[in-house]
Chain A
Amino acid sequence: MTQASLGQSVVQKEIQAQNNGVSANVTQTQPLWLLAEVTYRCPLHCAFCYNPTDYDKHTQNELTTEQWIQALRDARRLGALQLGISGGEPLLRDDIEDIVIEAKKLGYYSNLITSGVGLTEKRIQAFKDGGLDHIQLSMHDITEEINNFITNTKTFELKKKVAAMIKNHGYPMVLNVVIHRYNIGHMREILEMAEALGADYIELANTQYYGWSLVNRSQLMPTKEQIDEAERITNEFREKQGSKMKVFFVVPDYFSDRPKKCMNGWGEVFMIVTANGDVLPCHSARVLPNIEFPNVKDNGLDWVWNDSPAFNKYRGDSWMKEPCRSCAEKEKDLAGCRCQAFMLTGDAEGADPVCSLSPNHHVITQAIEDSRNPAIASQPIIFRNDKNSKAIIAGELNDRVKEFHALP
């Protein structure tokens, strides 16, 4: 699945709304979003996938339909109302229709986040009848070459067909394009393609470096100049095009001075149930040390959200260290991403090294330098697939992960 689509835009919009006379709680202690990562199996092999590189461990112990339905009910009772059905490729499960029907019954606004592979006329009709609210389709480029290269599959023509199918069934068309070195030069063409497909929303999600994309960071990262140009083209397109298609440009954190307010705060609005039932406050939280994440097979979601040590660990700011603890800006970003802090510096309570005030900021500048170093950047991409996941678990690719403090 694509990354970055789940958190930021919804929360940004909610916060913006405060300034327009529409109130929203600042400290939200109910899960508004439930992300169901129903499987880690995937027919695509995207180099930038944020799923854990050891996902192969979790492909044999997926939750049953009944367990998913129970999770949906419990989360809804806690206040969750946006449901993302994701993966992996969720369509590899044959019970998405049942999950959609239950979601509708419970009053969720439901979203299928898909590569499009496996979406047939029969299934999309069943989703429509069952009450699925929208479908978010990942697109990769305007060229067949780059699409097929970065996903390591021949899926270009199929994606265009699926886009038309989504439109024909009266769904809003929401496209998500993960941006990296190989497609960032095609920004204008990508926007024009989205417009031609009749997209209502397009999210240009600059790669964030977690999971497979962290392993492939030096191969994927564009330059600052390329990002600035991409943003300029995006703004120009917005001005010219008016409000017909909403364009979101997710700014890449490595090139900012301050970190993102990751997930809008730990355990604030997001809850993720993964394929095997682990419940996480963010996609990659399992990389963090000294936390035992609860599992829906053992614990009710009420306890998980309100009382579990895992969900309370980084709520508020009492866990923060300097320079964050006394920082005037700490409420803005809550010290950034815990996973990034730990993966890159070995200190899960430290400042996100993206911050220029972090004593470890050099790891970010070094990563940017490495991505421009031909000797490093020309190493082969490690595509997300079962073979590579098994190899990473077996320690066969240690050279590519040894600089990180946990397996990405």
Chain B
Amino acid sequence: MSIQHTNIYAIALHHRFQWEEAQDCFVILFPEGMVKLNGGAGEVLNLVDGKRTVADILTELKAKFSDVPDLDKDIVGMLELAIEKAWLRQIN
């Protein structure tokens, strides 16, 4: 799977992404299931809003976590996983 930096994604139809205070994490909710996301995964998906490109997301997260090496690879890996799981849909 190749993710282009110009691609724009949104949370998939019938899925809901939200912050859960009681669990202290982001979650994805969908029919018959839910997934709790760890810190990094939640940070990535929190920027997937149907407007930002992948390049925008990379830029923002690298600014926020400037001390983390190899961040590009982790972020793209997370997006790939989310696409494979059908949590995201591409809108452009």
Contact = CB atoms under 8 A, between A and B. Distances in A.
A169 B36 CA distance: 28
Interface in A152-173: 171-172
A9 interface: yes
A22 interface: yes
Contacts, number: 77
Contact of A203 (B18, B32, B78): B32
A1 to B, nearest CB: 14
B34 A109 contact: yes
B27 interface: yes
A14 B35 contact: yes
A82 B34 contact: yes
A24 interface: yes
Interface stretch (A73-81, A224-232, A282-290): A73-81
Interface of A: 5, 9-10, 13-14, 17, 20-25, 30, 32, 77-79, 81-82, 107, 109, 111, 133-134, 136, 171-172, 174, 200-201, 203, 243, 248
Interface of B: 13-14, 16, 18, 20, 22-23, 27, 29-38, 41, 77-78, 81, 85-86
Nearest to B29: A109
Contacts of B20: 79, 81
A32 B13 CA distance: 22
A10 B86 contact: no
Contacts of A111: 31-32
Given A21-B77, A171-B14, A172-B31, 15 more contacts: A9-B33, A10-B33, A13-B32, A14-B36, A21-B81, A22-B37, A23-B38, A78-B22, A81-B27, A107-B18, A109-B30, A109-B34, A111-B32, A200-B31, A243-B86
Contacts of B86: 243
B32 A201 contact: yes
A78 B20 CA distance: 11
B55 to A, nearest CB: 22
